[in-house]
Amino acid sequence: MNHADHLFLLKNGIRSPAGVWAEFGSGGGAFTRALVELTRPGALIYSVDRDKQALNRQAILIRERFHSRETGIIYLHADYTAPLELPALDGVLMANSLHFQENKLPLLKKIFDYLRPGGCMLLVEYNCDRGNNWVPFPLSFDTWHHLAPQAGFRDTRLLAKVPSSFMGEIYSAQSCKIDMQRA
């Protein structure tokens, strides 16, 4: 995958381009860069990863690419499966990170609670249910579609798919925390 693929997978899922976002498991920042590009100046992005060196490399790359951009990025060296002190989020991105969690539901409920009403989660995953040593617990879109409501998410929709030489196909999906006062 390349940067154009990252943009393609995310572009139809950015409902709050000026809001507060978090990317859990951001690693080297390939999808973080796409998120910065798709959000408006003034947006705030929390880039969360437990690999401090990856966050440092990501910060350098993003500064080089978007040196005049006013999107704020807070690099948070933390384990996203542990409780985090975050403001109410307009969006959460998990790109190729949920497949490292065998028991996904407790984490997904925590992510749901981070979102403000109307906020959405963008998921980027391999479209399969059988893992390997590098992608131990992937989940197909069909599996995500059935799991998301168990964590409270609604309006799950498939956004895009791209081929992957590694495991066949990668998809992106959006699932939202419905504002019950407006529903």
Q: How sure is the predictor about 171, in pLDDT bands with cuts at 50, 70 and 90?
A: very high
Structure tokens that stand for 161 in this block: 């798919």
C-alpha 31/C-alpha 152 separation (Å) is 25
Residue type, 21: W
Phi-psi region of 168 (alpha: psi -120 to 50; beta: other; left: phi over 0): left
What pLDDT, on a 0 to 100 scale, did the predictor assign at position 52?
Answer: 96
- Domains defined along the chain, listed by start: 3-176 (3.40.50.150)
Q: What is the mean pLDDT of residues 162-173?
A: 91
Whether residue 80 is predicted with pLDDT greater than 90 in this model: the reply is yes
HSE at residue 70, side-chain half, CA atoms within 13 A, is 6
Percent of the chain with pLDDT over 90: 79
- DSSP state, residue 5: H
| Average pLDDT in the chain | 92
Whether residue 168 is predicted with pLDDT greater than 90 in this model: the reply is no
What pLDDT, on a 0 to 100 scale, did the predictor assign at position 72?
Answer: 87
What pLDDT, on a 0 to 100 scale, did the predictor assign at position 1?
Answer: 86
Q: What is the pLDDT of residues 121-137, one digit of tens each?
A: 999 999 999 989 999 99
Placement of tokens 């790359």 in the chain: 61
Instruction: Decide: 15 and 120 in contact? Cβ < 8 Å.
Output: yes
Residues 6+ apart with CB under 8 A from 53: none
C-alpha 138/C-alpha 97 separation (Å) is 9
